[in-house]
A = this chain, B = another copy of it.
Amino acid sequence: MHDVRFKGEDILARQLEMAEANYSRLHERGIRSVSVMGAIGSGKTTLIERAIVRLGREGLRVGTIAADSAGDDDHRRFVAQGACSVNINTQDDCHLDAHTVDHALDALPLDQLDVLFVENVGNLICPADFPLGTDREMVVISVTEGDDMVRKHPKIFAQTDLVVVNKVDLAAAVDVDPRRLVADYAILNPHGKIVLAEAKSGRGVDEILALLGFECTNTQW
C-alpha cells in the first residue's frame, strides 16, 4: 500500500516537472496561455471561439489544443474561427496531462502564435490534479447544471482564480439562482473572480478576456 502511494507521488511530481517545461517553452516564445477546464457541455468551446475572433481583431494570433475523449468537433470549430489547432483524443482518460500537452505543442507553429488556449476534457474533478503549464487557468460551468456545481467540486474551484458561469440567460428557465454559485465560490476562493456570461451572445467575454490580461481596444464585435 505504501509502495503504491509512493509511486503515485512520483507520478504527480513528474507531471509538475513536465508542466514547468511546458511553461518555459511557451514563455520563452512570448506566448500567453490559458487552460480552460469545465463541465461537459458548459460552453468552453463557444467561449474559446469567441476569444479567437475577439483577439484576432486585436491582431493576436491564437492557437488551440482541443481535447475530448473522441472525435474532433471542437477542433474543427476552432479551425473554422481561424485558429491553428491540434486535436487530442484522450479515449479512456478523463483529463489532459502535461506530457500530452508537450506533444501537442510539438505539432503547433509556436513561432507564429501569440496566445494559446488549451481546452481540457469536460470534467470537474481530475483536471484539478494535473497542471499543464499554462500561465492562467479558468473553469467554466453552466447554470443549466444546477446551483450545486461549485460546492460539489471544491478542489478545482478553490485552486482556480477565474470562474465563468455560462448560459445565464437560461437561469430562470432552469430555476437556478446564479448568486448561489457566486456565494459558494466566494467561500472556497475569496480572492477569485467570477463572471456571469452568455458565450453564445458574447456577453461577458470582454470581461473574461480582461481578467486573463487581454485588453480589447477594438470595441466592435
Contact = CB atoms under 8 A, between A and B. Distances in A.
A154 B70 CA distance: 7
A121 B154 CA distance: 14
Contacts of A39: 39-41, 122
What is the oligomeric copy number? 2
Interface residues of A, number: 37
Nearest to A46: B146
A73 interface: yes
Contacts of A142: 41, 144
Contacts of A129: 92
Contact of A148 (B71, B94, B123, B146): B71
A32 interface: no
Interface string A80-102: 00000000001111100000000
Contact of A41 (B121, B126, B149, B173): B149
Contacts of A146: 41
19 contacts: A39-B41, A40-B145, A41-B142, A41-B144, A42-B145, A69-B124, A69-B152, A70-B151, A73-B151, A90-B125, A91-B155, A92-B126, A93-B125, A94-B94, A123-B123, A123-B125, A142-B144, A170-B174, A173-B173
Given A42-B145, A144-B144, 9 more contacts: A39-B41, A40-B149, A68-B152, A69-B154, A69-B155, A71-B151, A92-B129, A121-B125, A170-B174
Q: Which 5 A-B pairs have the closest CB atoms?
A: A41-B145, A144-B144, A94-B125, A39-B40, A73-B148
